[in-house]
Amino acid sequence: MTADITVIVPTYNVEKYINKCLKSLHNQSFNNFEVWAVNDGSTDNSKNVIKKWCDIDNRIKYIEKENGGYGSVLQYCISNIKTKYFLICDPDDWLDRKALETLYNIAEKNNVDMVVGDKFNVYSDDNQQEYSSSKPTFLSIMPDEVYNDDYHIQLFSFLLVSPHAKLYKTEISKNIIFPQHVSYTDFDLYILSLINAKRVCYHPQPLAYYLIDRKGNTTTDKSPKIIDYYCKVWDAAYQQLRKNSKNVDVLWWRMYVELQLILANYAEIKDISNKQYLNEIYSLIKKLRIYKKNIERVSPKSLKFRILFEGLMSKHLYKFFGYIYMKLK
């Protein structure tokens, strides 16, 4: 029987964590799926841990490739998988026992291209779990409602972009080009998949567990290189959005918000001795300027939003407003 879902597990030096991830997949209540555990050039014992699970469960497949980063794993897998749906489970995370069953049933019942669930954040020191909704409070998205208009589908871009508890119909993601040798490319996957989605749904149930404070993940990494990753991922999304013929005004608004987040992350890094990364951010702000009117049509009209927006989109004042914004963070 052909599998209905491929679970992609991008793997790089995670021997301490991947056993729990694969165990959670082995124990799923849903049976008709396969796991592609892709070893992206690990130098630790990750390979042997995966191989052990391949012997236990023939649905788990081991794939080995040269190191190319998270984006290269997504590129390889999404280009080659044949299943109707796919889901990404990072190797230091794990799924609720009914995660695949729940997401699959929602997708099939409602004929949707993407289902977004919620997660628990887990802290490694004491294993404390904290419920984390994918939906920000300001967003007018109703739980379990199916949205089929471009405006609301693009509003989904403001939900958490991380891969946790997201089921994708494979066909909506096939043509995405991912940057290589960088992290955080799940941003490109999520944002660009929404362009092709015709029906989407948000299900407010925590179905994944995210080890939020693991050293080296994009949440905890405050090294200068992470800014470079963010910029390259943003630019990859920009280059593909600008080639699209659809009205994607809401996605341009989301891209503006992402630049604010990158500036805020830059402000948190204490030991950047040169302006290389800041200039990289400013170059992206300049690129986005041509879509200023698109963003104005759909973004908030509040004075607070407008002042910063007009400042960052200004040809002459964007660096000044960027500096002020970072100082306030």
Indicate the domain borders of the chain. Answer: 5-211, 224-328
CATH superfamily of 5-211: Spore Coat Polysaccharide Biosynthesis Protein SpsA; Chain A (3.90.550.10)
Element (H, E) at 312: helix 303-312
CB 127 within 8 A of CB 49: no
> How many whole angstroms separate alpha carbon 197 and alpha carbon 116?
13
Q: What's the pLDDT score for residue 129?
A: 93
Render each residue's pLDDT in the chain as its tens digit; 329 residues: 789 999 999 999 999 999 999 999 999 999 999 999 999 999 999 999 999 999 999 999 999 999 999 999 999 999 999 999 999 999 999 999 999 999 999 999 999 999 999 999 998 777 889 999 999 999 999 999 999 999 999 999 999 999 999 999 999 999 999 999 998 999 999 999 999 999 999 999 999 999 987 665 555 666 788 999 999 999 999 999 999 888 999 999 999 999 999 999 998 886 666 688 899 999 999 999 999 999 999 999 999 999 999 999 999 999 999 999 998 87
What was the pLDDT predicted at 273?
61
The secondary structure element, H or E, covering residue 322 is helix 318-328
Q: What is the pTM of this model?
A: 0.94
Q: Which two tokens stand for residue 130?
A: 């904290």
Q: Are 259 and 281 in contact (CB under 8 A)?
A: yes
Residue 216 confidence (pLDDT):
57
Q: Tens digits of per-residue pLDDT, 148-180?
A: 999 999 999 999 999 999 999 999 999 999 999
